[in-house]
Amino acid sequence: MKQDTFTEKVKHIHPSNALNECLCSEELVRIDRKELNETIRLQQGMVFKFKSINGQFIHNLCDGELLYRLDLTPGHVVGKQLIDFLPEQNAKRKLLFYQRAWNGEDHVTYEDELNGIHYFAALRPIIQNGETIEVIGSCMDITDRKNAEKALLESENKYRLIAENMTDLIILFDSHGNCIYASPSHVSVLGYPPEYFLSQNTLHLIHPNDLSLVINGFEEVNKTKSPIRVEFRLLHSEDGYKLFDCTATPVLGDYGEVEHIMVVGKDITEKRKAEELLWKSEKLSLVGELAAGVAHEIRNPLTSIKGFIQLFQQGARNDEFFDVVLSELNRVEEIIKEFLSLAKPQEAQLKPVSISSLLNEIEALMKSEAYLKNVEITTEIDWDIPLVMCDANQIKQVLLNLCKNSIEATDAYKKGILKISAYTEDNRQLLIQVMDNGVGISEERIKRLGEPFYSNKEKGTGLGLMLCFRIIKEHKGTITFESIENQGTTVKIRLPI
Protein backbone atom coordinates (compact mmCIF):
# COMPACT_ATOMS: atom_id res chain seq x y z
CA MET A 1 0.00 0.00 0.00
CA LYS A 2 1.41 3.38 -1.00
CA GLN A 3 2.19 5.63 2.01
CA ASP A 4 1.51 9.38 2.00
CA THR A 5 4.35 11.90 2.46
CA PHE A 6 3.75 12.30 6.19
CA THR A 7 3.95 8.52 6.78
CA GLU A 8 7.19 8.25 4.83
CA LYS A 9 8.77 10.95 6.98
CA VAL A 10 7.70 9.21 10.18
CA LYS A 11 9.15 5.87 9.04
CA HIS A 12 12.40 7.57 8.10
CA ILE A 13 12.76 9.01 11.60
CA HIS A 14 11.48 5.97 13.49
CA PRO A 15 12.59 2.67 11.99
CA SER A 16 10.33 0.64 14.28
CA ASN A 17 7.21 -0.38 12.26
CA ALA A 18 4.99 -0.55 15.34
CA LEU A 19 5.99 2.91 16.45
CA ASN A 20 5.59 4.25 12.93
CA GLU A 21 2.07 2.87 12.60
CA CYS A 22 1.08 4.25 16.01
CA LEU A 23 2.29 7.75 15.19
CA CYS A 24 0.63 7.66 11.79
CA SER A 25 -2.70 6.66 13.30
CA GLU A 26 -2.58 9.46 15.88
CA GLU A 27 -1.66 12.04 13.27
CA LEU A 28 -4.38 10.84 10.91
CA VAL A 29 -6.97 11.05 13.70
CA ARG A 30 -5.78 14.55 14.52
CA ILE A 31 -6.03 15.53 10.86
CA ASP A 32 -9.48 13.96 10.50
CA ARG A 33 -10.69 15.75 13.62
CA LYS A 34 -9.36 19.03 12.33
CA GLU A 35 -11.11 18.51 8.99
CA LEU A 36 -14.35 17.59 10.82
CA ASN A 37 -14.15 20.75 12.92
CA GLU A 38 -13.55 22.82 9.78
CA THR A 39 -16.55 21.18 8.13
CA ILE A 40 -18.75 21.91 11.13
CA ARG A 41 -17.54 25.51 11.32
CA LEU A 42 -18.18 26.19 7.63
CA GLN A 43 -21.64 24.64 7.38
CA GLN A 44 -24.58 27.08 7.15
CA GLY A 45 -26.35 25.65 10.18
CA MET A 46 -25.01 24.78 13.62
CA VAL A 47 -24.02 21.52 15.34
CA PHE A 48 -23.70 21.12 19.11
CA LYS A 49 -23.37 18.37 21.74
CA PHE A 50 -23.96 18.29 25.46
CA LYS A 51 -23.60 15.89 28.41
CA SER A 52 -25.17 15.69 31.84
CA ILE A 53 -22.52 16.44 34.47
CA ASN A 54 -23.62 16.60 38.08
CA GLY A 55 -27.21 17.05 36.96
CA GLN A 56 -26.36 19.94 34.66
CA PHE A 57 -26.28 19.94 30.86
CA ILE A 58 -22.84 21.09 29.76
CA HIS A 59 -22.01 21.68 26.09
CA ASN A 60 -18.87 20.02 24.82
CA LEU A 61 -19.15 21.06 21.14
CA CYS A 62 -20.79 23.94 19.28
CA ASP A 63 -19.88 25.40 15.91
CA GLY A 64 -21.28 26.40 12.55
CA GLU A 65 -22.01 29.55 10.57
CA LEU A 66 -25.39 30.03 12.30
CA LEU A 67 -23.64 30.28 15.68
CA TYR A 68 -21.82 33.43 14.60
CA ARG A 69 -24.95 34.95 13.10
CA LEU A 70 -26.49 34.56 16.56
CA ASP A 71 -23.66 36.80 17.87
CA LEU A 72 -22.08 33.84 19.68
CA THR A 73 -18.80 31.92 19.39
CA PRO A 74 -17.78 28.41 20.47
CA GLY A 75 -16.16 30.01 23.52
CA HIS A 76 -19.55 31.32 24.66
CA VAL A 77 -21.10 27.84 24.56
CA VAL A 78 -18.54 25.05 25.06
CA GLY A 79 -18.19 24.16 28.74
CA LYS A 80 -21.27 26.25 29.59
CA GLN A 81 -24.89 25.71 30.54
CA LEU A 82 -27.80 27.23 28.65
CA ILE A 83 -28.31 29.87 31.33
CA ASP A 84 -24.73 31.08 30.82
CA PHE A 85 -25.32 32.40 27.27
CA LEU A 86 -29.10 32.59 26.76
CA PRO A 87 -31.79 34.81 28.30
CA GLU A 88 -33.36 33.15 31.34
CA GLN A 89 -36.76 32.49 29.72
CA ASN A 90 -35.17 30.94 26.62
CA ALA A 91 -32.87 28.79 28.77
CA LYS A 92 -35.71 27.48 30.94
CA ARG A 93 -37.86 26.66 27.92
CA LYS A 94 -35.05 24.79 26.14
CA LEU A 95 -34.12 22.81 29.27
CA LEU A 96 -37.38 20.90 28.87
CA PHE A 97 -36.36 19.74 25.38
CA TYR A 98 -32.83 18.93 26.57
CA GLN A 99 -34.25 16.78 29.36
CA ARG A 100 -36.56 14.90 27.00
CA ALA A 101 -33.65 14.07 24.69
CA TRP A 102 -31.44 13.00 27.62
CA ASN A 103 -34.24 10.72 28.83
CA GLY A 104 -33.90 8.84 25.53
CA GLU A 105 -36.68 10.42 23.44
CA ASP A 106 -35.62 10.23 19.82
CA HIS A 107 -35.78 13.24 17.51
CA VAL A 108 -36.87 16.04 19.84
CA THR A 109 -37.49 19.27 17.91
CA TYR A 110 -38.21 22.89 18.82
CA GLU A 111 -38.09 26.40 17.39
CA ASP A 112 -36.63 29.48 19.03
CA GLU A 113 -35.46 33.01 18.30
CA LEU A 114 -32.32 34.84 19.36
CA ASN A 115 -31.11 38.28 18.29
CA GLY A 116 -33.76 38.49 15.57
CA ILE A 117 -32.89 35.11 14.02
CA HIS A 118 -35.37 32.23 14.09
CA TYR A 119 -33.97 28.73 14.05
CA PHE A 120 -35.17 25.14 14.11
CA ALA A 121 -33.35 22.61 16.32
CA ALA A 122 -33.39 18.78 16.40
CA LEU A 123 -31.97 16.71 19.28
CA ARG A 124 -31.05 13.05 19.22
CA PRO A 125 -29.57 11.03 22.11
CA ILE A 126 -26.43 8.85 21.75
CA ILE A 127 -27.18 5.67 23.70
CA GLN A 128 -24.70 2.96 24.74
CA ASN A 129 -25.59 -0.07 26.86
CA GLY A 130 -29.07 1.35 27.37
CA GLU A 131 -27.87 4.69 28.75
CA THR A 132 -27.57 8.14 27.18
CA ILE A 133 -23.94 9.21 27.09
CA GLU A 134 -24.49 12.49 25.22
CA VAL A 135 -26.98 14.33 23.00
CA ILE A 136 -26.16 15.75 19.60
CA GLY A 137 -28.15 18.58 18.13
CA SER A 138 -28.35 20.46 14.84
CA CYS A 139 -29.91 23.84 13.99
CA MET A 140 -30.96 25.55 10.78
CA ASP A 141 -31.94 29.15 10.08
CA ILE A 142 -35.69 29.52 9.39
CA THR A 143 -35.87 33.34 9.62
CA ASP A 144 -37.05 33.79 6.01
CA ARG A 145 -39.76 31.18 6.46
CA LYS A 146 -40.91 32.75 9.72
CA ASN A 147 -41.04 36.21 8.16
CA ALA A 148 -43.07 34.83 5.25
CA GLU A 149 -45.43 33.04 7.67
CA LYS A 150 -45.80 36.23 9.71
CA ALA A 151 -46.54 38.31 6.61
CA LEU A 152 -49.05 35.69 5.43
CA LEU A 153 -50.73 35.59 8.84
CA GLU A 154 -50.96 39.38 8.96
CA SER A 155 -52.41 39.39 5.45
CA GLU A 156 -54.93 36.69 6.35
CA ASN A 157 -55.93 38.58 9.47
CA LYS A 158 -56.46 41.76 7.47
CA TYR A 159 -58.58 40.00 4.84
CA ARG A 160 -60.50 38.15 7.54
CA LEU A 161 -61.12 41.44 9.36
CA ILE A 162 -62.37 43.01 6.14
CA ALA A 163 -64.53 40.01 5.19
CA GLU A 164 -66.08 39.70 8.64
CA ASN A 165 -66.91 43.38 9.07
CA MET A 166 -67.89 44.58 5.60
CA THR A 167 -71.56 44.87 4.69
CA ASP A 168 -71.06 43.56 1.14
CA LEU A 169 -71.54 39.86 0.43
CA ILE A 170 -68.48 37.79 -0.42
CA ILE A 171 -69.06 34.26 -1.64
CA LEU A 172 -66.63 31.81 -3.27
CA PHE A 173 -67.77 29.07 -5.64
CA ASP A 174 -65.94 26.18 -7.23
CA SER A 175 -66.06 25.81 -11.01
CA HIS A 176 -69.28 23.72 -10.70
CA GLY A 177 -71.16 26.43 -8.81
CA ASN A 178 -70.96 24.95 -5.32
CA CYS A 179 -70.23 27.38 -2.49
CA ILE A 180 -67.02 26.80 -0.50
CA TYR A 181 -67.00 30.09 1.46
CA ALA A 182 -69.59 32.67 2.45
CA SER A 183 -68.78 35.81 4.43
CA PRO A 184 -70.44 36.44 7.82
CA SER A 185 -72.20 39.47 6.28
CA HIS A 186 -74.77 37.06 4.79
CA VAL A 187 -76.46 36.99 8.21
CA SER A 188 -77.04 40.75 8.42
CA VAL A 189 -77.72 41.29 4.70
CA LEU A 190 -79.81 38.22 3.74
CA GLY A 191 -80.67 36.65 7.08
CA TYR A 192 -78.89 33.33 6.42
CA PRO A 193 -75.80 32.05 8.30
CA PRO A 194 -72.71 31.33 6.14
CA GLU A 195 -73.12 27.58 6.77
CA TYR A 196 -76.41 27.69 4.87
CA PHE A 197 -74.56 28.28 1.59
CA LEU A 198 -71.74 25.74 1.94
CA SER A 199 -71.53 22.83 -0.51
CA GLN A 200 -74.57 23.96 -2.50
CA ASN A 201 -75.52 26.52 -5.13
CA THR A 202 -77.81 29.47 -4.40
CA LEU A 203 -80.09 29.20 -7.43
CA HIS A 204 -83.14 28.61 -5.26
CA LEU A 205 -82.70 32.10 -3.72
CA ILE A 206 -82.58 33.90 -7.07
CA HIS A 207 -85.72 35.49 -8.47
CA PRO A 208 -87.13 33.24 -11.23
CA ASN A 209 -87.04 36.08 -13.78
CA ASP A 210 -83.30 36.63 -13.09
CA LEU A 211 -82.29 32.96 -13.02
CA SER A 212 -81.24 32.68 -16.67
CA LEU A 213 -79.22 35.92 -16.37
CA VAL A 214 -77.19 34.48 -13.47
CA ILE A 215 -76.66 31.07 -15.08
CA ASN A 216 -75.54 32.63 -18.36
CA GLY A 217 -73.22 34.98 -16.46
CA PHE A 218 -71.65 32.06 -14.58
CA GLU A 219 -71.07 30.19 -17.83
CA GLU A 220 -69.59 33.32 -19.42
CA VAL A 221 -67.04 33.68 -16.60
CA ASN A 222 -66.00 30.04 -17.01
CA LYS A 223 -65.73 30.43 -20.76
CA THR A 224 -64.08 33.86 -21.14
CA LYS A 225 -62.12 33.80 -17.83
CA SER A 226 -63.04 37.46 -17.44
CA PRO A 227 -65.03 39.22 -14.70
CA ILE A 228 -68.63 40.28 -15.32
CA ARG A 229 -71.10 42.49 -13.50
CA VAL A 230 -74.79 41.67 -13.16
CA GLU A 231 -77.79 42.86 -11.18
CA PHE A 232 -80.32 40.36 -9.86
CA ARG A 233 -82.71 39.79 -6.99
CA LEU A 234 -82.05 37.50 -4.01
CA LEU A 235 -84.63 36.23 -1.53
CA HIS A 236 -84.20 37.57 2.00
CA SER A 237 -85.11 35.13 4.76
CA GLU A 238 -87.88 37.43 6.05
CA ASP A 239 -88.13 40.54 3.86
CA GLY A 240 -88.83 39.40 0.30
CA TYR A 241 -86.51 39.96 -2.64
CA LYS A 242 -83.56 42.39 -2.48
CA LEU A 243 -81.73 43.80 -5.51
CA PHE A 244 -77.96 43.20 -5.63
CA ASP A 245 -75.21 44.57 -7.82
CA CYS A 246 -72.71 41.69 -8.11
CA THR A 247 -69.28 41.31 -9.67
CA ALA A 248 -68.10 37.77 -10.46
CA THR A 249 -64.33 37.35 -10.81
CA PRO A 250 -62.61 34.11 -11.95
CA VAL A 251 -59.71 32.70 -9.90
CA LEU A 252 -57.34 30.83 -12.21
CA GLY A 253 -55.23 27.83 -11.27
CA ASP A 254 -51.65 26.94 -12.23
CA TYR A 255 -52.70 25.78 -15.70
CA GLY A 256 -54.87 28.78 -16.52
CA GLU A 257 -58.17 27.03 -15.83
CA VAL A 258 -60.95 28.54 -13.72
CA GLU A 259 -60.75 26.88 -10.31
CA HIS A 260 -62.98 29.24 -8.34
CA ILE A 261 -65.33 32.17 -8.94
CA MET A 262 -65.50 34.91 -6.34
CA VAL A 263 -68.67 36.98 -6.22
CA VAL A 264 -68.93 40.29 -4.36
CA GLY A 265 -72.47 41.63 -4.02
CA LYS A 266 -73.86 44.92 -2.73
CA ASP A 267 -77.47 45.51 -1.72
CA ILE A 268 -78.72 48.36 -3.93
CA THR A 269 -82.44 48.01 -3.17
CA GLU A 270 -82.76 51.34 -1.37
CA LYS A 271 -80.41 53.05 -3.81
CA ARG A 272 -82.52 51.91 -6.74
CA LYS A 273 -85.71 53.09 -5.03
CA ALA A 274 -84.13 56.51 -4.53
CA GLU A 275 -83.06 56.57 -8.18
CA GLU A 276 -86.57 55.67 -9.28
CA LEU A 277 -87.98 58.55 -7.22
CA LEU A 278 -85.39 60.84 -8.74
CA TRP A 279 -86.24 59.55 -12.19
CA LYS A 280 -89.95 60.26 -11.70
CA SER A 281 -89.15 63.71 -10.33
CA GLU A 282 -86.95 64.47 -13.32
CA LYS A 283 -89.66 63.31 -15.70
CA LEU A 284 -92.24 65.55 -14.07
CA SER A 285 -89.78 68.45 -14.10
CA LEU A 286 -89.15 67.91 -17.80
CA VAL A 287 -92.88 67.77 -18.55
CA GLY A 288 -93.49 70.94 -16.55
CA GLU A 289 -90.77 72.88 -18.34
CA LEU A 290 -92.08 71.78 -21.73
CA ALA A 291 -95.64 72.70 -20.82
CA ALA A 292 -95.35 76.34 -21.90
CA GLY A 293 -94.20 75.40 -25.38
CA VAL A 294 -96.76 72.64 -25.73
CA ALA A 295 -99.52 74.98 -24.63
CA HIS A 296 -98.70 77.02 -27.71
CA GLU A 297 -98.68 73.82 -29.81
CA ILE A 298 -102.09 72.76 -28.52
CA ARG A 299 -103.55 76.26 -28.87
CA ASN A 300 -103.10 76.19 -32.67
CA PRO A 301 -105.29 73.14 -33.36
CA LEU A 302 -107.81 74.30 -30.75
CA THR A 303 -108.08 77.64 -32.57
CA SER A 304 -108.80 75.80 -35.82
CA ILE A 305 -111.38 73.57 -34.18
CA LYS A 306 -113.03 76.54 -32.55
CA GLY A 307 -113.29 78.35 -35.92
CA PHE A 308 -114.85 75.36 -37.70
CA ILE A 309 -117.36 74.88 -34.89
CA GLN A 310 -118.40 78.50 -35.34
CA LEU A 311 -118.89 77.81 -39.06
CA PHE A 312 -121.02 74.80 -38.18
CA GLN A 313 -123.13 77.02 -35.94
CA GLN A 314 -123.69 79.38 -38.86
CA GLY A 315 -124.94 76.50 -40.95
CA ALA A 316 -121.86 75.95 -43.10
CA ARG A 317 -121.52 72.24 -43.84
CA ASN A 318 -118.58 70.67 -45.67
CA ASP A 319 -117.14 67.18 -45.33
CA GLU A 320 -113.60 68.61 -45.58
CA PHE A 321 -114.29 70.67 -42.46
CA PHE A 322 -114.89 67.46 -40.50
CA ASP A 323 -111.60 65.96 -41.76
CA VAL A 324 -109.66 69.04 -40.64
CA VAL A 325 -111.31 69.07 -37.20
CA LEU A 326 -110.66 65.35 -36.73
CA SER A 327 -107.02 65.78 -37.78
CA GLU A 328 -106.50 68.62 -35.30
CA LEU A 329 -108.13 66.62 -32.48
CA ASN A 330 -105.82 63.69 -33.25
CA ARG A 331 -102.89 66.10 -33.07
CA VAL A 332 -103.94 67.29 -29.61
CA GLU A 333 -104.51 63.71 -28.46
CA GLU A 334 -101.04 62.66 -29.69
CA ILE A 335 -99.33 65.46 -27.77
CA ILE A 336 -101.23 64.67 -24.57
CA LYS A 337 -100.43 60.96 -24.95
CA GLU A 338 -96.72 61.71 -25.24
CA PHE A 339 -96.78 63.70 -22.03
CA LEU A 340 -98.64 60.96 -20.20
CA SER A 341 -96.12 58.35 -21.36
CA LEU A 342 -93.27 60.50 -20.06
CA ALA A 343 -94.83 61.04 -16.64
CA LYS A 344 -96.13 57.50 -16.19
CA PRO A 345 -93.83 55.37 -13.95
CA GLN A 346 -93.07 51.95 -15.40
CA GLU A 347 -90.28 49.36 -15.47
CA ALA A 348 -87.85 49.25 -18.37
CA GLN A 349 -89.20 46.97 -21.09
CA LEU A 350 -87.00 46.20 -24.06
CA LYS A 351 -88.95 45.89 -27.28
CA PRO A 352 -88.16 46.34 -30.98
CA VAL A 353 -88.48 50.08 -31.61
CA SER A 354 -88.52 52.10 -34.81
CA ILE A 355 -85.99 54.86 -34.23
CA SER A 356 -87.38 56.84 -37.15
CA SER A 357 -90.80 57.02 -35.55
CA LEU A 358 -89.33 57.83 -32.14
CA LEU A 359 -87.25 60.73 -33.52
CA ASN A 360 -90.27 62.11 -35.36
CA GLU A 361 -92.16 62.12 -32.06
CA ILE A 362 -89.26 63.95 -30.41
CA GLU A 363 -89.29 66.56 -33.16
CA ALA A 364 -93.03 67.07 -32.73
CA LEU A 365 -92.72 67.53 -28.97
CA MET A 366 -89.77 69.92 -29.16
CA LYS A 367 -90.92 71.98 -32.15
CA SER A 368 -93.07 74.36 -30.10
CA GLU A 369 -90.35 75.14 -27.53
CA ALA A 370 -87.77 75.49 -30.31
CA TYR A 371 -90.06 77.99 -32.05
CA LEU A 372 -90.37 80.08 -28.88
CA LYS A 373 -86.56 80.18 -28.49
CA ASN A 374 -85.95 81.00 -32.19
CA VAL A 375 -84.33 77.61 -32.83
CA GLU A 376 -84.70 75.69 -36.07
CA ILE A 377 -85.03 71.96 -35.44
CA THR A 378 -84.39 69.39 -38.19
CA THR A 379 -83.99 65.62 -38.39
CA GLU A 380 -81.89 63.47 -40.70
CA ILE A 381 -82.59 59.74 -40.57
CA ASP A 382 -81.30 56.91 -42.75
CA TRP A 383 -84.19 55.09 -44.38
CA ASP A 384 -82.73 51.60 -43.75
CA ILE A 385 -82.21 51.78 -39.98
CA PRO A 386 -83.31 48.43 -38.49
CA LEU A 387 -85.44 48.05 -35.38
CA VAL A 388 -83.51 48.48 -32.12
CA MET A 389 -84.18 46.62 -28.86
CA CYS A 390 -84.75 49.35 -26.27
CA ASP A 391 -87.24 50.95 -23.93
CA ALA A 392 -88.81 53.62 -26.13
CA ASN A 393 -89.98 55.71 -23.19
CA GLN A 394 -86.52 55.83 -21.62
CA ILE A 395 -84.70 56.62 -24.87
CA LYS A 396 -87.29 59.31 -25.53
CA GLN A 397 -86.57 60.85 -22.14
CA VAL A 398 -82.82 60.88 -22.91
CA LEU A 399 -83.33 62.61 -26.25
CA LEU A 400 -85.80 65.13 -24.81
CA ASN A 401 -83.29 66.04 -22.10
CA LEU A 402 -80.51 66.47 -24.64
CA CYS A 403 -82.68 68.49 -27.04
CA LYS A 404 -83.90 70.73 -24.24
CA ASN A 405 -80.30 71.34 -23.10
CA SER A 406 -79.32 72.23 -26.69
CA ILE A 407 -82.19 74.70 -27.04
CA GLU A 408 -81.29 76.36 -23.74
CA ALA A 409 -77.63 76.59 -24.80
CA THR A 410 -78.37 78.62 -27.95
CA ASP A 411 -77.15 82.19 -28.21
CA ALA A 412 -80.02 84.67 -27.82
CA TYR A 413 -78.46 87.01 -30.39
CA LYS A 414 -78.33 84.58 -33.30
CA LYS A 415 -80.63 82.00 -34.84
CA GLY A 416 -80.25 78.62 -33.15
CA ILE A 417 -79.89 75.32 -34.99
CA LEU A 418 -80.75 71.91 -33.52
CA LYS A 419 -80.15 68.88 -35.72
CA ILE A 420 -81.02 65.30 -34.79
CA SER A 421 -79.56 62.56 -36.98
CA ALA A 422 -79.51 58.77 -36.90
CA TYR A 423 -77.69 56.14 -38.93
CA THR A 424 -75.92 52.80 -38.53
CA GLU A 425 -72.19 52.26 -37.95
CA ASP A 426 -70.52 49.08 -39.27
CA ASN A 427 -73.94 47.37 -39.29
CA ARG A 428 -73.43 46.70 -35.60
CA GLN A 429 -74.62 49.77 -33.75
CA LEU A 430 -76.94 52.72 -34.09
CA LEU A 431 -75.51 56.24 -33.84
CA ILE A 432 -77.84 59.07 -32.80
CA GLN A 433 -76.40 62.58 -32.83
CA VAL A 434 -77.85 65.73 -31.27
CA MET A 435 -76.00 68.77 -32.63
CA ASP A 436 -76.45 72.46 -31.84
CA ASN A 437 -74.66 75.75 -32.52
CA GLY A 438 -74.91 76.97 -28.95
CA VAL A 439 -72.39 78.41 -26.50
CA GLY A 440 -70.52 75.10 -26.17
CA ILE A 441 -68.88 73.45 -23.15
CA SER A 442 -65.30 73.81 -21.93
CA GLU A 443 -63.03 70.74 -21.88
CA GLU A 444 -62.84 70.85 -18.09
CA ARG A 445 -66.64 70.80 -17.77
CA ILE A 446 -67.07 67.97 -20.28
CA LYS A 447 -65.04 65.67 -18.01
CA ARG A 448 -67.56 66.15 -15.21
CA LEU A 449 -70.77 65.82 -17.20
CA GLY A 450 -73.01 63.13 -15.74
CA GLU A 451 -72.03 63.81 -12.13
CA PRO A 452 -75.00 64.55 -9.85
CA PHE A 453 -75.39 68.18 -8.82
CA TYR A 454 -72.90 69.35 -11.44
CA SER A 455 -74.52 71.40 -14.22
CA ASN A 456 -73.73 74.04 -16.83
CA LYS A 457 -77.02 75.74 -16.05
CA GLU A 458 -77.26 78.43 -13.41
CA LYS A 459 -80.05 76.60 -11.56
CA GLY A 460 -79.40 73.09 -12.88
CA THR A 461 -78.87 70.02 -10.69
CA GLY A 462 -77.07 67.80 -13.20
CA LEU A 463 -79.49 64.99 -12.37
CA GLY A 464 -80.98 64.95 -15.87
CA LEU A 465 -77.68 64.10 -17.55
CA MET A 466 -76.86 61.63 -14.78
CA LEU A 467 -80.06 59.73 -15.60
CA CYS A 468 -79.24 59.93 -19.32
CA PHE A 469 -75.88 58.27 -18.71
CA ARG A 470 -77.49 55.57 -16.60
CA ILE A 471 -80.26 54.81 -19.11
CA ILE A 472 -77.80 54.46 -22.00
CA LYS A 473 -75.50 52.29 -19.88
CA GLU A 474 -78.41 49.98 -19.00
CA HIS A 475 -79.04 49.65 -22.74
CA LYS A 476 -75.38 48.56 -23.12
CA GLY A 477 -74.64 51.72 -25.09
CA THR A 478 -72.38 54.76 -24.74
CA ILE A 479 -72.92 58.51 -24.66
CA THR A 480 -70.14 60.99 -25.46
CA PHE A 481 -69.86 64.75 -25.77
CA GLU A 482 -67.83 66.80 -28.26
CA SER A 483 -67.87 70.57 -27.94
CA ILE A 484 -66.10 73.77 -28.94
CA GLU A 485 -66.84 76.89 -26.95
CA ASN A 486 -68.98 79.47 -28.80
CA GLN A 487 -69.40 77.06 -31.73
CA GLY A 488 -71.65 74.29 -30.48
CA THR A 489 -71.95 70.80 -29.01
CA THR A 490 -72.48 67.35 -30.47
CA VAL A 491 -73.81 64.50 -28.33
CA LYS A 492 -73.30 60.99 -29.72
CA ILE A 493 -75.38 58.06 -28.49
CA ARG A 494 -74.41 54.58 -29.62
CA LEU A 495 -76.77 51.64 -29.08
CA PRO A 496 -76.26 48.00 -30.12
CA ILE A 497 -78.48 46.83 -32.96
pLDDT of residue 82: 92
Q: How confident is the model at residue 48 (pLDDT cuts 50, 70, 90)?
A: very high
What is the percent of the chain with per-residue pLDDT over 90, rounded to a whole number?
19
CA torsion through residues 311, 312, 318, 320, sign: positive
CATH class for domain 269-345? mainly alpha
pLDDT of residue 453: 42
pLDDT of residue 14: 44
Q: How confident is the model at residue 414 (pLDDT cuts 50, 70, 90)?
A: confident
pLDDT of residue 363: 84
pLDDT of residue 303: 74
Q: How confident is the model at residue 459 (pLDDT cuts 50, 70, 90)?
A: very low
Instruction: Indicate if the pLDDT at residue 465 is higher than 80.
Output: no
Among 54-63, 200-209, 302-311, the minimum mean pLDDT is found in: 302-311
b/e 429-442 (16+ beta carbons within 10 angstroms → b): bbbbbbbbbbbbbe
Q: How confident is the model at residue 34 (pLDDT cuts 50, 70, 90)?
A: low
- Encode 272-337 in three state secondary structure: HHHHHHHHHHHHHHHHHHHHHHHHHHHHHHHHHHHHHHHHHHCCCCCHHHHHHHHHHHHHHHHHHH
The tens digit of pLDDT for each residue in 322-374 reads 777 777 787 777 666 655 555 554 556 788 888 888 888 888 778 777 877 88
- Let me know: does 60 contact 36? Beta carbons within 8 Å: no
- Three-class SS state of 212: helix
- Three-class SS state of 43: coil
Instruction: For the chain, give every residue range classified as CATH 1.10.287.
Output: 269-345
Instruction: Indicate if the pLDDT at residue 36 is higher than 60.
Output: no
Considering the chain, what is the average pLDDT of its residues?
80
pLDDT of residue 50: 94
Question: Can you name the CATH fold of 5-142?
Answer: Beta-Lactamase (3.30.450)
Alpha-helical regions (H) of 206-254: 211-224
Question: Can you name the CATH fold of 347-497?
Answer: Heat Shock Protein 90 (3.30.565)
- Three-class SS state of 243: strand
Please list, in sequence order, all residues whose beta carbon lies within 8 angstroms of the beta carbon of residue 50, skipping any fewer than 6 positions away: 57, 58, 59, 60, 98, 134, 135, 137
Instruction: For the chain, give every residue range classified as CATH 3.30.565.10.
Output: 347-497
Q: How confident is the model at residue 2 (pLDDT cuts 50, 70, 90)?
A: very low
CATH superfamily of the domain spanning 166-267: PAS domain (3.30.450.20)
Distance CA 142, CA 149 (A): 10
Instruction: For the chain, give every residue range classified as CATH 3.30.450.20.
Output: 5-142, 166-267
The tens digit of pLDDT for each residue in 55-86 reads 899 999 899 889 998 999 999 999 999 999 99
The tens digit of pLDDT for each residue in 150-197 reads 888 888 777 777 666 677 888 888 888 888 888 888 888 888 888 888
pTM: 0.41
Distance CA 423, CA 399 (A): 15
Please list, in sequence order, all residues whose beta carbon lies within 8 angstroms of the beta carbon of residue 52, skipping any fewer than 6 positions away: 58, 102, 132
- Let me know: does 272 contact 286? Beta carbons within 8 Å: no
